[in-house]
Amino acid sequence: MLRFKNTKEWESVLESELWEVEEAEKDLFPTLLLSYYDLSPLVRRCFSYCAIFPKDYKMGKDVLIKLWMAQGYFGETGTRDMEDIGEECCRSLVMRSLFQEDYQKNRYPQETIFEMHDIVHDFAQSLTENECSVMEVNSSEESRFDFPHGRARHLMVILGEGTSIPTSIFSAKDLRSLIVKNSYNQTDRTKLLPILFAQLTCLRSLDLNRYFSFEEIPNDIGNLIHLRYLNLAGNYKLRELPERVSDLFNLQSLILNDCSRLKRLPRGLGNLINLRHLELGRTDDLHFMPRGIGRCTSLRTLSKFVVSSSGDDNVNEEDAASLGELENLNRLQGSLEITKLGKVKDANEAKKAQLDKKKHVKTLILDFGKILDYGKHEERERNDGQVMEAIQPPPNLEELVIKSLRGSSLFPDTTSSSPIIMLSCLRVLEISDCPKLMALPDQLLQATSLEKLYIRDCPFLEQRYFKEGLWGGGEDWHKISHIPNIYLHGRRMHI
């Protein structure tokens, strides 16, 4: 693969200082150098960035690509998504054995994990000339640990028990990446944030995820006008974000997974027209989506959309987005969960959302929510039925999950004026807590791609599709018997 290099490229390889290495490394570094020089300049830059991580660090592919994006490595890409270019960079690094893929899918079932061999990590660090550093803080004395402030651009700080972010890093004015890893559940460090936001204004990436107990984020975060990646996941005491987050016009990724007490997002979130990834996994206290989110048409990831109604406590109708604001978010990919669908009062909003235009969405979760006012059973049943009639699911779905529906039917039937799209890619269908649901659409069950069917807490469905046996069987068992994996009320049906 190196035979296509021209004379000038080979001379560059020959003149590299990396040929003059320590005795213990001289047998390996030259080999790595040849692989390195065979990479494109873009992939070289991405590889060198990985020196920010310590040895044996497990790098999540999606996070890594977002960090590369935040540094502007992919520039103007024309019609190609930056995320796709990042995928190509990862494949190049794996192909040349600079990355090793972690195949422990039981530990990381939903993401691809990379590791670097120790010698590859040493090689990456030798390329960066102190631009990428790892600082381990294990005591208060080490909090004063010094590092090359003038050259430092990318820094990971690993905090030990009872330690804090070293104030010495605040003098690294040109820092572009700051990743803080905290292995212990520690006290509130909100007082450090104003200093950080005032001093490190060149940051493109800021990662403060996991085990921090920030109760609030200061408005000074608006000073970080170059910020493109902000990870606050796991800050379980955080209840809201300051409005000045809406001033971070360059922001591409906002990660808020596991902020379990988060109740609201900034009202001006719709101003973030460059936002590509908004991750809201396991934010069960979130009341609503901010009005104007439909302007974030660059979004690729919107893991959750929370429906609200005018009667909700703590929700100002003027602040809340309607379901119809999904209309123009047609670049969405991966998984989309819509919660509290039972609060939709106008089925036209469900139709306006145009879910059938979300061609890159692979998993759709429709959660109608529990009934809190039992005096409104009939109204809820009627509304749920109308909403389901209005929904047209994305055509390339691989997984469809429906929860707590109070209507009796699922999507328009084949005789309707707008029948359900044939979901020819559907692999998993999960229906739970739908006590009034009478049957599943034949066109869903006829999908030859269907591998798994889960039905739980749906008495009519469980009776209808139960396998024949000593106690008789369901009238429509034959319609699902071709599906390899069938679970009814938590019990697997053996075919």
Specify the CATH number for the domain of residue 55. 1.10.10.10
> Based on the number of CB atoms within 10 Å of its own CB, is 312 exposed (0-12), middle (13-18) or buried (19 or more)?
middle
For residue 8, what pLDDT is reported? Answer: 57
Q: How confident is the model at residue 279 (pLDDT cuts 50, 70, 90)?
A: very high
Residue 189 has pLDDT above 70, yes or no: no
Q: Which residue is listed with tokens 């000045």?
A: 244
Q: Does residue 418 fall inside a structural domain?
A: no
* DSSP element (H, E) containing 41: helix 41-49
For residue 4, what pLDDT is reported? Answer: 46
Q: Does residue 245 fall inside a structural domain?
A: no
pLDDT tens column, 307-316? 986 566 667 7
Q: How confident is the model at residue 210 (pLDDT cuts 50, 70, 90)?
A: confident
Provide the number of structural domains found in the chain.
Answer: 1
Top-confidence range, 96-105, 355-364, 365-374, 439-448: 355-364
For residue 183, what pLDDT is reported? Answer: 66
Tokens of 366: 């429709």
Q: Determine which of 156-160, 244-248, 458-462 has the lowest per-residue pLDDT on average.
A: 156-160
Residue 415 has pLDDT above 60, yes or no: no
For residue 229, what pLDDT is reported? Answer: 99
Q: Does residue 185 fall inside a structural domain?
A: no
> Higher pLDDT residue, 280 or 6?
280
For residue 372, what pLDDT is reported? Answer: 67
Asked if residues 440 and 461 have their Cβ atoms less than 8 Å apart, the reply is yes
- What is the rounded distance in angstroms from the CA atom of residue 216 to the CA atom of residue 238? 6
For residue 379, what pLDDT is reported? Answer: 86
- What is the rounded distance in angstroms from the CA atom of residue 235 to the CA atom of residue 261? 9
Percent of the chain with pLDDT over 90: 56
Half-sphere exposure of 255 (CA within 13 A, CB side): 19
Q: Does residue 225 fall inside a structural domain?
A: no
For residue 306, what pLDDT is reported? Answer: 96
Q: How confident is the model at residue 17 (pLDDT cuts 50, 70, 90)?
A: low
For residue 433, what pLDDT is reported? Answer: 95
Contacts of 202 (CB under 8 A, 6+ apart): 173, 174, 175, 176, 226
Mean pLDDT of 135-162: 74
Per-residue CA distances from 387 to 247, 338, 361, 368, 369 (Å): 35, 12, 20, 10, 13
Range of the domain at 53: 7-120
- What is the rounded distance in angstroms from the CA atom of residue 116 to the CA atom of residue 54? 10
For residue 109, what pLDDT is reported? Answer: 57
- What is the rounded distance in angstroms from the CA atom of residue 226 to the CA atom of residue 389? 44
Q: Determine which of 28-37, 55-64, 230-239, 254-263 has the lowest per-residue pLDDT on average.
A: 28-37
* DSSP element (H, E) containing 197: helix 193-199
For residue 127, what pLDDT is reported? Answer: 87
Q: Determine which of 22-36, 268-282, 329-343 has the lowest per-residue pLDDT on average.
A: 22-36
Per-residue CA distances from 83 to 70, 113, 123, 401 (Å): 11, 16, 26, 26
E strands within 77-121? Answer: 100-102, 113-115
Please state the pTM of the whole predicted model: 0.90
Q: Does residue 71 fall inside a structural domain?
A: yes
Q: Does residue 80 fall inside a structural domain?
A: yes
Residue 85 has pLDDT above 90, yes or no: yes
Q: Determine which of 60-74, 125-139, 336-350 has the lowest per-residue pLDDT on average.
A: 125-139
For residue 390, what pLDDT is reported? Answer: 92
Q: How confident is the model at residue 410 (pLDDT cuts 50, 70, 90)?
A: confident
Q: Determine which of 256-270, 308-322, 393-407, 423-437 has the lowest per-residue pLDDT on average.
A: 308-322
Tokens of 258: 């596991």
Amino acid at 190: T
- What is the rounded distance in angstroms from the CA atom of residue 76 to the CA atom of residue 85? 11
- What is the rounded distance in angstroms from the CA atom of residue 331 to the CA atom of residue 350? 18
pLDDT tens column, 27-57? 556 778 878 888 999 999 999 999 999 999 9
For residue 324, what pLDDT is reported? Answer: 95
> Higher pLDDT residue, 358 or 370?
358
State the chain's maximal CA–CA distance in angstroms: 82
Average pLDDT, the chain: 85
For residue 470, what pLDDT is reported? Answer: 42
E strands within 72-175? Answer: 100-102, 113-115, 132-137, 154-159
Q: Does residue 149 fall inside a structural domain?
A: no
Per-residue CA distances from 223 to 218, 266, 329, 495 (Å): 10, 16, 28, 62
- What is the rounded distance in angstroms from the CA atom of residue 252 to the CA atom of residue 266? 16
Q: Does residue 313 fall inside a structural domain?
A: no
pLDDT tens column, 416-430? 545 556 788 999 999
Mean pLDDT of 305-330: 84
What is the separation, in whole angstroms, between the first and last Cα of the chain?
A: 51
